[in-house]
């Protein structure tokens, strides 16, 4: 009898694949059950995230403003410019800042009046250098509507500092029209980061105040201050307390008329008794003329003896002049 031999049955590929899939499904189920039982977190990776540049950005956003507390000033005739002063922006975070925006909030009795008469100018300088004169590219506006003076500020790296110079100017008319007014600006700066996701940094500078002295007050008896009219002269005097270069002054606005003006006349005359306060003990050279000098004010000053200074017109034939004179009081 011929030997019987078993022919090997060819394996079924389809069945092998099916068995593999079943095994994988069972294993996955056990993993899920195990994680659930141990309090772990299970996430099915059923979606994908595309990173455009395959780079993850991390960092913190921080910004600081310094120097704004030095911008304040009291404006008066002869002292109409504040600055230039330096302010700085410092990136205190770990992410680069860009897209800077500056805004200003106003408070005070002159927020809607005095602020409209104050011209502010900003310009950038290299760190550690002097301000000098504002260039033509400087950004200028009124404190009542300050433009974005950081519009051209480039990216600021972590730890980097940008320095700007600031000047504010007023007018003689404003010191009169808005006498006794003040305005306090507060500057806020916002910058975006290169991290993305809407991250930004915001910083606020210290508030500062611009002001004008109280209104001029009529002096009914000028002789109490040592001021009197010369021959044939009539005078009207008003006074005002001012701060000039950090020092206290008493200022007089003197309107003189009459005298012996005309072709052969000597013009008006005003006498200052330097033995009376506030002139007592103050050298003529320490008098302040808001116009810049006595000559620019149109006044000649000469000693007439006995502690008296004689004020006359630089044009001897003029029979009227109004001028201002300030004397230190501290």
Question: So where are the chain's domains?
Answer: 63-211, 217-328
Q: What is the second-level CATH architecture of the domain 63-211? A: Sandwich (2.60)
Does residue 206 carry a pLDDT above 80?
yes
Mean pLDDT of 155-180: 94
Q: What is the pLDDT of residues 89-134, one digit of tens each?
A: 999 999 999 999 999 999 999 999 999 999 999 999 999 999 999 9
- What residue spans of 217-284 are helical by DSSP H? none
> Are the C-beta atoms of residues 196 and 58 closer than 8 Å to each other?
no
**What's the token pair of residue 91?**
């990136």
Which range, 19-23, 79-83, 242-246, has the best average confidence (pLDDT)? 79-83
Calculate the alpha carbon distances from 88 to 94, 138, 206 in Å.
Answer: 18, 16, 12
Does residue 320 carry a pLDDT above 60?
yes
Calculate the alpha carbon distances from 234 to 54, 151, 270, 323 in Å.
Answer: 87, 56, 9, 14
Instruction: Calculate what percentage of the chain has a pLDDT beyond 70.
Output: 78
**What's the token pair of residue 263?**
């072709």
Question: How much is the pTM?
Answer: 0.61
Amino acid 195: pLDDT: 61
Q: What is the pLDDT of residues 228-260, one digit of tens each?
A: 998 889 999 999 888 787 788 999 999 999 876
Which range, 41-50, 149-158, 213-222, 283-292, has the best average confidence (pLDDT)? 149-158
Of residues 164 and 16, more confidently modeled: 164
Closest C-alpha to 310, from 257, 277, 268, 255: 268
Query: Under 8 Å CB-to-CB from 233, ≥6 apart: which residues?
Result: 256, 257, 258, 259, 268, 269, 270
Query: Under 8 Å CB-to-CB from 35, ≥6 apart: which residues?
Result: 41, 42
Of residues 251 and 45, more confidently modeled: 251
Q: What is the pLDDT of residues 271-283, one digit of tens each?
A: 999 999 999 999 9
């Amino acid at each position: 009898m011929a030997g019987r031999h078993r022919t090997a049955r060819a394996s079924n590929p389809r069945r092998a694949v099916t068995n593999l899939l079943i095994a994988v499904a069972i294993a996955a189920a056990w993993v899920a059950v195990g994680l659930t039982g141990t309090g772990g977190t299970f996430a099915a990776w059923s979606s994908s995230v595309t990173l455009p540049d395959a780079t993850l950005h991390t960092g913190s956003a921080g910004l600081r403003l310094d120097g704004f507390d030095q911008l304040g000033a009291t404006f008066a005739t002869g002292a109409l410019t504040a600055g230039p002063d330096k302010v700085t922006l410092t990136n205190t975070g770990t992410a680069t800042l860009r897209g800077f925006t500056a805004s200003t909030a106003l408070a005070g009795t002159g927020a809607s009046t005095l602020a409209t008469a104050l011209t502010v100018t900003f310009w950038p300088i290299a760190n550690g250098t002097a301000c000098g004169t504002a260039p033509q590219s400087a950004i200028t506006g009124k404190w009542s509507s300050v433009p974005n003076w950081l519009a051209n500020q480039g990216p600021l790296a972590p730890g980097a500092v940008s320095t700007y110079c600031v000047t504010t100017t007023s007018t003689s008319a404003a010191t009169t029209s808005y006498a006794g007014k003040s305005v306090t600006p507060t500057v806020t700066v916002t910058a975006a980061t290169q991290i993305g996701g809407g991250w930004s940094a915001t910083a606020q500078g210290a508030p500062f105040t611009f002001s004008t002295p109280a209104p001029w007050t009529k002096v009914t008896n000028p002789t109490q201050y040592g001021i009197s009219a010369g021959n044939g002269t009539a005078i009207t005097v008003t006074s005002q307390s001012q701060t000039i270069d950090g020092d206290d002054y008493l200022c007089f606005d003197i309107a003189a008329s009459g005298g012996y003006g005309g072709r052969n006349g000597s013009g008006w005359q005003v006498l200052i008794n330097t033995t009376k306060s506030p002139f007592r003990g103050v050298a003529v050279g320490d008098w302040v003329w808001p116009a810049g000098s006595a000559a620019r004010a149109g006044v000649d000053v000469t000693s007439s003896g006995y502690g008296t200074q004689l004020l006359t017109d630089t044009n001897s034939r003029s029979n009227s002049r109004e001028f201002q004179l300030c004397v230190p009081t501290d």
